[in-house]
Amino acid sequence: MSGVKQFLLRGNVVDLAVGVVIGAAFGTVVTAFVKDLLTPFIAALVKQPDFSAMTFTINGSKFLYGDFINAFVSFVIIAAAVYFFVVLPINALIARTRKDPAPADPTTKICSQCCNEISIKAKRCGFCTSTL
């Protein structure tokens, strides 16, 4: 039993649980926003009172494509919110805190006569014997 307790009290599991709960609550808020505000607004523009009522029937089978439109709009809003309010700020924070290492000092140079790579300390080229 202590192993289960230790597993559950690890930081990653608790963080994940908090993320799932917050995500579910956020999903509910976005779904309500789409269903109660955005869908009627878009429906007013296209003169259709509710997307969820949009259906068609083939051989007695009812296809609820209006519900799909509602779900798709919800998905797009959730994806945009997660991208703009979570992904971009985290990437900016990581980029600000990460420092690129300074480039190493060069150890070689190119001979001006024969264009071969030689040691930076060389006084004479080992390939063409020109004085540097």
Boundaries of every domain in the chain: 2-97, 104-132
As a whole number of angstroms, the distance between CA 124 and CA 115 comes to 13
Q: What is the pLDDT of residues 48-64, one digit of tens each?
A: 666 777 888 999 999 98
Highest mean pLDDT among 11-25, 43-57, 114-128: 114-128
The CATH superfamily of 2-97 is Large-conductance mechanosensitive channel, MscL; domain 1 (1.10.1200.120)
As a whole number of angstroms, the distance between CA 72 and CA 114 comes to 64
Q: How many CA atoms lie within 13 A of 125 on its CB side?
A: 15
Mean pLDDT, to the nearest integer, of 23-36? 82
Provide the 3-class DSSP secondary structure of residue 120. coil
Q: To the nearest whole number, what is the mean pLDDT of the chain?
A: 81
Q: How many CB atoms lie within 10 A of CB 63?
A: 12
Closest CA to 35 of 20, 46, 51, 58: 51
User: How does DSSP assign 24-65, residue by residue?
Assistant: HHHHHHHHHHIIIIIHHHHHHHHT-S-GGG--EEETTEEE-H
Q: What is the pLDDT of residues 64-104, one digit of tens each?
A: 888 888 788 778 877 887 788 878 888 888 888 887 777 88
Task: Report which secondary-structure segment, H or E, holds 118.
Answer: strand 117-119
